[in-house]
Structure 1
Amino acid sequence: MSTMILGSIMALSSSNWVYMWMGLELNLLSFIPVISSSSNLQETESAVKYFIVQTIGSGILMVTAMMVLNSSMFSLNQSVYTSIMCLSIMLKLGAAPTHWWLPHVMSGMSWMNCMILATWQKLAPIMLAMSTITCLNPITVVLFSTMSAIVGGMGGMNQTQLRTILAYSSIGHLGWMLMATISSLSISILYFSVYCAINISIMFLMNKTSQLKSVMNFSIMNMPNSSFMSLSFLLMSLGGLPPLLGFAPKWMVFMTTMDSLLLIPMLVLIVGSLMNLFYYLSMVFNFTLSQNKPWHSNTTSSPLLSSILMTISGPLFLVVTM
C-alpha cells in the first residue's frame, strides 16, 4: 500500500515523461498483490486482467512519448500523438471506448479493492488526462465524454451485480469529469473529489455490513435499518438526485458547459445520467420491497446520521461554491 501511494504521488509530481511512467508502473505493480492477496480465484483472475490492460496502456503511452521526442523520424501531426496518448490514458481509466475491462475486473474484487480501484487508482491517470486533454481538439473531448455517458447509462441497465453497476456508474461519471475539463479544470477536480467521497461511503458500508453481490440476494441479508437508509441515500446521491450531494457538482458542470454553448453534448450527458438514476432508483425499490422486517432500529444511528449529512450538504455545497 505504501509503494502504491508513492507511485501515484510520483506520477502526479513528475515533470518528465519517464518519471511519470515509472510512477504509474510502481502504482500498478503495487496494486496487483493487493488484489490477489486472497485465495479467491475470481480475484486472481481480476488481477491478471487488470495487469494486462494496464500494461498495454502504459506501453502505448511510453511509445507515444518516445515518438514525440523523435518526431523528426515520423511524419505525423502533433494532434495525432496527443490523441493516441489520450486514448492510452482513457484505457487506463476505463473510459469509453476502452471501457470493456472495468466491469469484468470490478465484479471479481472484494469491496475494499473495488474502493481502491474506483478512487485512488484513478487519481494519477485522471490528473494526467486533465493536463493532456487541454491540448486536444474540443470535439475529441466531447466525443470521449458523450460515449462514456451513454455507455455508463446503458451498460448498467440489465445488470444485477452491484459491483458491475458501480463500474458502469464510474464510466458514466468519467464522462462528466471529461466534459468539465473543457471549461473549468477546478470543477472537474471538485467533481472527482465528491465522486470519491460518495463511492468510498458506499463501498465501505457494503464491506462493513455484508458481502452483498447481487440485488436478488438482498432479501436474505439482515442489514440494519440505519445502514439500509444510508445505502439508499448514497445510491441516489451517486445518481445525482437533488438535493443530495451528488447533484451539486453535476449542476456546476451543467452551468459551465451551457456557458460554452455545448447544448447537444450536455443533453447526451443528462440522458446518460437519467439512465444511471433509473437503475439506482430501481435498486432502492428492490431493496425496499425485499425488506421483510418492521422498520424499527436497534442499532447505532451513525450510518443514518451520515446519510442525513449527505442530504443536507448538497444545498449547502451549492450555496458556498456559487
Structure 2
Amino acid sequence: MFFKNLMKWMIMITIIISISSKSWFIYWLMMEMNLLMFIPILNSKKKNSSNSMISYFVIQSLSSNLFLISMLNFEIFTMSLFNFTAMMSIMIKLAMIPFHFWLTNLSEMIDFNSLFLMLTVQKIIPLYILSSIKMESLSIFVMISSVFASIFVINLKSLKKILIFSSISHQSWMIALILMKSNFWFSYMTLYSILIYKISFMLIKMKSNYINNFWYTKSNFTSKVSFCMMMLSLGGMPPFLGFLMKFISILIIINSNSMMISVLIISSIINIFVYMQAIMPNLLINSLNTKIFSFKNMNIKNMILNLNIMIVIISMNLVI
C-alpha cells in the first residue's frame, strides 16, 4: 500500500513538471515516467492483473513512440504533419473514439481505484499537450467521440464501461474548450474528477460492477439515491453540478463554433435520457419497498463541502 501511494505522489510530480514546462522532450519524458509509475498501481490480486499491466504498457508505449517519432522528425515534417502525428498519439492515450477499444477491454481487468486514476489523473498531461497543438481537425474528433460515446452507452450493463464512455464524452467537452483556448478546461477536469471519485468510491463500497446488480446490494436507499444523483450529474442533468460545468462551457464555445456545440448538446441530451432510462424505473421500484426518504440520513457536512468546492472553482474561472 505504501509503495502504491508513493507511486501516486510521483505521478502527481510528473504532472506538475509537465504543466510547468514548454519543452516537447519534457512532455514525452514525463509521460514515460508517468507510465512506469502507473504500472505498479495496476498490480492487484485479480487473475488478469498481469494481463492488464502488459496491455496498458504496450498501448501507452506505442502512442509514446509515435509522439517521439513526430518530435524527432520535427525538422523533416511539415508543421501540419507534425501536429497531426502528435495529435494521433494523444488521441490513442486518451482513448478517444475510434481508439477506445483498448480501454474498454482493459476495464474488466482492473478495479475501480485504477479505473478512476486512468479516467482522471492519467488524462491531464495528454490534455495539456493538446493545448499546445494547433489542429482544426480536433473538432472532428470532438464531434465523432461525443456522438458515438452517447450511442455506445445505450443498453450497457457494465458500470465500468458506462464510466469510460462518459469519460470520452466529457473529454470531448474539454477538448472543445481547449480549441477555444479557454483555461476553463482544467476546472472542468477538476469538477469531473470529483464526480468520478465519488461515484467510484460508492461502487467500491457497494461492491457492484453491473447496473443490474447495483439495486440488489445491501446498501441503504439513501446511498442508492446519492449514486443516482451523481450519475445524473455526470450526464449533465439540471440542476446538478455536471449541468453547470456544461452550461459554462456552452457560454464559452457557442459564439465560436455553433456546429460543434450543437453536436455536444445533442449528445448530452442522449446521455441524460440513457441514464434516466437505466436509473429511474429501478429507483422508483426500490422507493416503493423502502421507508419514506429521510434527510436525517444525509451527510450535511459533505454536501456543504461539495458546494464550497464548486463555488470556489467556478468563481476563479468565470473571469477567464
Q: TM-score range by the shorter chain?
A: 0.7 to 0.9
State the match for 1:159 in structure 2: 156
- Answering whether residue 129 of structure 2 is matched by residue 131 of structure 1, we say no
State the match for 1:281 in structure 2: 276
Query: Residues 38-49 of structure 1 correspond to what in structure 2 (within 5 A)?
Result: 38-49=44-55
- Answering whether residue 73 of structure 2 is matched by residue 67 of structure 1, we say yes
State the match for 1:249 in structure 2: 245
Contact 2:150-2:268 within 8 A present in 1 as well: yes
- Structure 1: which amino acid aligns with 2:34? N
- Structure 1 residues 186 and 14: alpha-carbon distance in aligned structure 2, compared to 1, 3 A threshold: closer
State the match for 2:211 in structure 1: 215
- Structure 1 residues 190 and 316: alpha-carbon distance in aligned structure 2, compared to 1, 3 A threshold: closer
Contact 1:115-1:203 within 8 A present in 2 as well: yes
Residue 6 of structure 1: CA displacement? 2.6
- Structure 1: which amino acid aligns with 2:97? A
Query: Which segment is superposed worse, 167-176 or 192-201?
Result: 192-201
Query: Residues 30-45 of structure 1 correspond to what in structure 2 (within 5 A)?
Result: 30-36=37-43, 38-45=44-51
Query: Residues 135-154 of structure 1 correspond to what in structure 2 (within 5 A)?
Result: 135-136=134-135, 138=136, 140-154=137-151
Contact 1:35-1:113 within 8 A present in 2 as well: yes
- Structure 2: which amino acid aligns with 1:4? I
Residue 282 of structure 1: CA displacement? 2.2
Query: Residues 1-322 of structure 1 correspond to what in structure 2 (within 5 A)?
Result: 1=7, 2-36=9-43, 38-68=44-74, 71=75, 74=76, 76-132=77-133, 135-136=134-135, 138=136, 140-207=137-204, 209-260=205-256, 262-289=257-284, 291=286, 293-295=289-291, 301=297, 303=299, 306=302, 321=318
- Structure 2: which amino acid aligns with 1:288? L
Residue 18 of structure 1: CA displacement? 2.4
Contact 1:50-1:105 within 8 A present in 2 as well: yes
* Residue-pair matches, total: 310
Residue 269 of structure 1: CA displacement? 1.0
User: Distance between the aligned counterparts of 1:62 and 1:317, measured in 2?
Assistant: 35
- Structure 1 residues 142 and 54: alpha-carbon distance in aligned structure 2, compared to 1, 3 A threshold: same
- Structure 1 residues 227 and 17: alpha-carbon distance in aligned structure 2, compared to 1, 3 A threshold: same
Contact 1:17-1:65 within 8 A present in 2 as well: yes
User: Distance between the aligned counterparts of 1:192 and 1:170, measured in 2?
Assistant: 10
Contact 2:147-2:267 within 8 A present in 1 as well: yes
TM-score normalised per structure 2 = 0.87
- Structure 1 residues 186 and 11: alpha-carbon distance in aligned structure 2, compared to 1, 3 A threshold: closer
User: Distance between the aligned counterparts of 2:172 and 2:303, measured in 1?
Assistant: 26
- Structure 2: which amino acid aligns with 1:56? L
Q: Structure 2 unaligned runs (5+)?
A: 1-6
Contact 1:233-1:307 within 8 A present in 2 as well: no
Residue 25 of structure 1: CA displacement? 1.0
- Structure 2: which amino acid aligns with 1:203? S
Contact 1:93-1:122 within 8 A present in 2 as well: yes
Residue 316 of structure 1: CA displacement? 9.8
- Structure 2: which amino acid aligns with 1:22? L
Q: Structure 1 unaligned runs (5+)?
A: none
- Structure 1: which amino acid aligns with 2:236? G
Matched-pair identity in %: 24
Contact 1:243-1:311 within 8 A present in 2 as well: no
Contact 1:9-1:23 within 8 A present in 2 as well: no
Residue 283 of structure 1: CA displacement? 2.8
For the residue of structure 1 that corresponds to 2:106, the secondary structure is helix
What per-residue deviation string (whole Å, max 9, x for no partner) do you get for residues 41-72 of structure 1? 2343322221111111101001100000xx2x
User: Distance between the aligned counterparts of 2:72 and 2:258, measured in 1?
Assistant: 38
What per-residue deviation string (whole Å, max 9, x for no partner) do you get for residues 232-264 of structure 1? 11111111111111111211221222211x222
- Structure 1 residues 286 and 25: alpha-carbon distance in aligned structure 2, compared to 1, 3 A threshold: farther
- Structure 1 residues 305 and 205: alpha-carbon distance in aligned structure 2, compared to 1, 3 A threshold: farther
User: Distance between the aligned counterparts of 2:315 and 2:212, measured in 1?
Assistant: 39
TM-score normalised per structure 1 = 0.87
- Structure 2: which amino acid aligns with 1:168? F
